[in-house]
Copies of this chain bind each other. A is one copy, B any other.
Amino acid sequence: MSKLVGVLGGMGPMATADFFRKLVEETPATHDRDHVPVIIYSVPQIPSRDKAITSGGESPLPQMLAGMHALKKQNVDFVVIPCNTAHYWYEDLCREGGLPILHIVDAVRDELSNGHAVEGPIGLLSTEATLLSGIYRDRLADRGIELMVNTQEERDEFINPAIEWVKCGRLPEAGRAVDRAVARLLDRGAQKLILGCTELPVALEAIASPRMGSCIDATRALARASVRRARG
């Protein structure tokens, strides 16, 4: 019997929808009933995670906790959050939300252990807020992985506009921008790249970029880890 998965979503909505599709895709199933049961809370009326971290904007924590409480009322067994930056509040959410949360970076770690083992530096494409939060650095520290990040200039030119474009449905433009950011890190010697913001795979897939083959999609990693945990 599968566990009931709770999704704290809406950050953003397209990324949540992308996670849901990948959860279905990653479940070995021959019938509907083989699929993982899931409750998705996708309420995007929530302050910017990015602004709260980088410029002291309003905290999104109260709205995230409202989502956790909604999921708790539905008796979900564990929660996943298809937004990397939101994991800045991971400890608060675990402590005050009263539910176990599968950390997105732990899901990426699992991918690195399973067939994605690489020599040499691994690139990380993310928001500035995710970088500042240190979640990838901290949770991958004991793996001896050299992380290579995008520059502020690359974030300003490619990553940040791409994220905004995904949020308003301009996917091909977003895809081309992300593709250029990926190319820059590969040129500088990254062996693999972590797409560490859940808008980025949506963008790259919209243009069917061949560079997806060099990437570890944190959203798909989270989906795969969710299926493993749900089927326990």
Contact = CB atoms under 8 A, between A and B. Distances in A.
A25 interface: yes
Interface string A116-135: 00000000000000000000
A39 B37 contact: no
Contact of A39 (B20, B21, B41): B41
A32 interface: yes
B13 A17 contact: no
A44 interface: yes
Contacts of A29: 167-169
Copies of this chain in the oligomer: 2
B20 A32 contact: no
Given A14-B24, A24-B17, A32-B11, A40 B37 contact: no
B45 A37 contact: yes
Interface string A19-44: 01101110101111111111111111
A71 to B, nearest CB: 10
Contacts of A18: 21
B42 A38 contact: yes
A73 interface: yes
A42 B37 contact: yes
A196 interface: no
Nearest to A42: B38
Contacts of A39: 39-42, 70
